Amino acid sequence: GQQLNQSPQSMFIQEGEDVSMNCTSSSIFNTWLWYKQDPGEGPVLLIALYKAGELTSNGRLTAQFGITRKDSFLNISASIPSDVGIYFCAGPYTGTASKLTFGTGTRLQVTL
Amino acid sequence: DGGITQSPKYLFRKEGQNVTLSCEQNLNHDAMYWYRQDPGQGLRLIYYSQIVNDFQKGDIAEGYSVSREKKESFPLTVTSAQKNPTAFYLCASSPGSAPGTQYFGPGTRLTVL
């Protein structure tokens, strides 16, 4: 089946630093979604990407839809303590937009 | 306030008992989903429903059952046939107008003793 690989698996950064993470697949995706999950809560949609090459921002977050359609990137600028959490990428199963496959997540921890 | 509610937040059950998790949405979304999340892992799809009175199995449907009698509601029953039911369960819904976009509830943590 379709798999999404996220890297890094986890990262420790200092407040104020910029963060980069990525999501790759062996399959082509037509949509890329980025979610953030706080401990014990449901994931919250951060950014949705629908077109190859698209670059979209949401505050300090910027995500890009890779040109090959097999990858996506999420950057967080000037990290703050509330950025702590798990970031998931997701994309629709081939042939149906109604089912999503999720990456295994990147766990971000921010130190003061 | 529009959103997805799941209740209860924490649920404890004895082994061998069936338990039903509630999921309600007032977003007028057609599609609804149930996921399971285990510690340190991603989300795995249990069941999904694109329309009232219809639902399909996801990747890990064994030991679970659902119903979709109303657009707003999509309850999940964890049966005694589910070998490892202790997990964090997440419900989501999707408007269908934005491809693939799903919105999640706060989750229910089920612990089977």
CB contact under 8 A, A43 and B105: no
Rounded to whole angstroms, the Cα distance separating A100 from A80 reads 29
The reply to whether residue B94 touches residue A104, judged by beta carbons under 8 angstroms, is no
In three-state form (DSSP H/G/I as H, E/B as E, the rest C), the secondary structure along chain A is: CCCCEEECCEEEEECCCCEEEEEECCCCCCCEEEEEECCCCCCEEEEEECCCCCEEEECCEEEEECCCCCEEEEEECCCCHHHCEEEEEEEECCCCCCCEEECCCEEEEEEC
Residue A108 scores a pLDDT above 90: yes
Instruction: Kindly give the confidence (pLDDT) of every residue in chain B, 113 residues in length, as a single tens digit, with 9 standing for 90 and above.
Output: 669 999 999 999 999 899 999 999 999 999 999 999 998 788 999 999 999 999 999 999 999 999 999 999 999 999 988 889 999 999 999 987 666 789 999 999 999 98
From B41, which residue of chain A is nearest by alpha-carbon distance? Answer: A104
What distance in Å separates residue B48's CA from the closest CA in chain A? Answer: 8
**Residue A100 contacts B where some CB pair is shorter than 8 Å:** yes
Of A43, A44, A92, the CB nearest to B100: A92
Q: Which residues of A touch B96 (CB under 8 A)?
A: 98
* Closest approach of B43 to chain A, Cα-based (Å): 6
Taking an 8 Å cut-off on Cβ atoms, the answer to whether B41 and A104 are in contact is: yes
Is pLDDT of A96 > 80? no
pLDDT value at position B101? 84
Q: Which candidate in A4, A94, A100 is best for mutational testing of the B interface (most B CBs within 10 A)?
A: A100
Q: What is the pLDDT of residue A34?
A: 97
Cβ neighbours of residue A82 under 8 Å, at least 6 residues apart?
none
